[in-house]
Amino acid sequence: MEQLQGKTILKKIAIGKVFYFEKTIAEVRRQKIEDTVAEIIRFERAKETAQEQLQGLYEKAKEEVGEAEADIFQVHSMMLDDDDFCDTIINYIHAGNLNAEYAVAKAGDEFAEMFASMDDEYMKARSADIKDISERLLCLLSGVQRDGPTLTEPVILIADDLSPSETVQMDKSNILAFVTRAGSVNSHTAILARSMDIPALIEVKIDKAWHGRMAVVDGYQGTIVIDPDAVYLEELRGIQERDKQKAEAQKALIGQKSMTKSGKEINVYANIGTVSDVAFVLQQDGEGIGLFRSEFLYLESKALPTEEEQFLAYKEVAEKMEGKPVIIRTLDIGADKQVDYLDLAEEENPALGYRAIRICLTQTEIFKTQLRAIYRASAFGEIAIMFPMIISVEELAQIKVILESVKIGLSEQGIPYGDPQIGVMIETPAAVMVSEELAQEVDFFSIGTNDLTQYTLAIDRQNPKLDHFYDAHHPAILKMIQMTIENGHKGGAWVGICGELAADLELTEQFVEMGVDELSVSPPFILSLREKIRGLE
């Protein structure tokens, strides 16, 4: 019995034979060509065919896993049309008299490396998307077939890596789990695995010699066990059966209230990063969106997103939620989330540096553009605005002056807007200590437990060497949450939690006893949290 550790994507159990998938890779050779115009035409034709293929994959994914997940291929389509990417390829062909295959491979490597070197995990995961579209072009240019494996029985699929298109093209009825050597928990392939409800592990030292052997993927422990013994198999089959019964039972919770036995109702909202995430929220019966991370609109753009671009995104989310609350967190860039076009200087302590509301209050035109977009969208749904990294009442006073100027400007232009609630994230010890005063200035608090834990314990949560010291259940954190809830209510504000602790079922009862009004979690945890709440007295 051989056991290896990895990072888990979905907490489920899979038992079955291993199938090792080895990709067919187009061989790329550097060649000098005379007719660069003809070579550029070859590239353009390959690009057109690739776009047709991506449209087909979009339609297939939309039917099998839903529109939100199918949007992955719309993203690929946009990346394939990206001017910088295409111009780089064409420049290599034209200036270097190089064949299209080599130009695509070289540009693909450069752009993939650029994304992979970024600090932000979401942007880092886009490296795999660049590789995917580059490989698609290379296969079309070289005539290599790009099909996934033919699976004749249910298997645990292992591979060095899997692209989103390879994942979608496979016969899902015969896939028990994915296990890869590479990958990211934020990759589109990981997102697809979650949406298909297939357990997956990444960063596993796989071995092609496993092909055909029995294995168990334990998504709870993040392990794969090759040639498991009978005792271990029986134990894991028991967990698998328990999960199956639990998932079936949780479906009955759709449409039910998240209410304790004594009648206390807790709002269970969802955290999202993009517009496409809304479909998953609705599928899981989320009661609202407690955290829309608006910075992803900035991270996915090569320039500051315009007011119109932002307005359309916020409006779409509000309309899709059909009157349910949508809390939009204003720009939270900085620290581990960087964008080149803001030209932010390197800092010795970025987590303590120029980030979030500090950028907005010093670059007010960027802030006003976003606020105008949010206010305009508020005419189309139940939108609220939340400000991150607040440490003082004085900051709120500055924000309110800017809000007033934005509303005056919209009124003068005859542009309609709603009356969004205003809230702040409590994610610094300073905010906790002045929470009674802050509560008198806002409608709600949302406690960001990730940063609150980091700043309270003086532990960089990006540093893996400190994992042993990172204790999210530290008494100081729980006392701060209690203090914030009490002070919020005293000042007339409702209080929610949107950090990872919101989904920690070990703490749910304690949070309810503290008097929390709302818990906002990733969509897959909504029904589990509702079940936990409904089981409390």
Point out the residues that are catalytic: 188, 498
Buried residues in 66-96 as b, exposed as e (16+ CB within 10 A): bebbbbbbbbbbebbeeeebeebbbebbeee
A 10 A CB-CB count for 323 gives 10
Q: Pull the structure tokens for residue 292.
A: 């829309």
Q: Pull the structure tokens for residue 367.
A: 């802030």
Question: What distances in angstroms separate CA 520 from CA 151, 178, 527, one per listed residue?
Answer: 39, 28, 12
Give the helix, strand, coil percentages of the chain, each rounded to 5: 55, 15, 30
Q: What Rg do the C-alpha atoms of the chain give, in angstroms?
A: 25
* Sequence-distant contacts of 262-265: CB under 8 A, at least 24 apart: 262/537, 264/512
**Contact (CB, 8 A) for 245 and 487:** no
Q: What 8-state DSSP symbol labels residue 386? A: E
Reference 189, options 19, 53, 9; nearest CA is: 9
Please report, in angstroms and rounded to a whole number, the separation of the first and last CA atoms in the chain: 44
Amino acid identity, position 125: A
Q: DSSP labels for 451-494?
A: HHHHHHHT--TT-GGGGGG--TT-HHHHHHHHHHHHHHHHTT-E
Q: Pull the structure tokens for residue 248.
A: 């079936």
Residue 258 CB contacts under 8 Å (≥ 6 apart), including other chains: 265, 266, 267, 268, 287, 529, 530, 533, 534
In angstroms, the CA 372 to CA 364 distance is: 12
Considering Cα of 370, then 371, then 374, then 379, what sign does the dihedral take?
negative
User: What burial class does residue 307 get, using C-beta atoms within 10 Å of its C-beta: 0-12 exposed, 13-18 middle, 19+ buried?
Assistant: middle
Bridge-partner residues for 19, per DSSP?
A: 157
In angstroms, the CA 171 to CA 489 distance is: 52
Amino acid identity, position 355: R
Q: φ and ψ at 187, to 5 degrees?
A: -70, 160
In angstroms, the CA 86 to CA 313 distance is: 26
Q: Pull the structure tokens for residue 459.
A: 């532990």
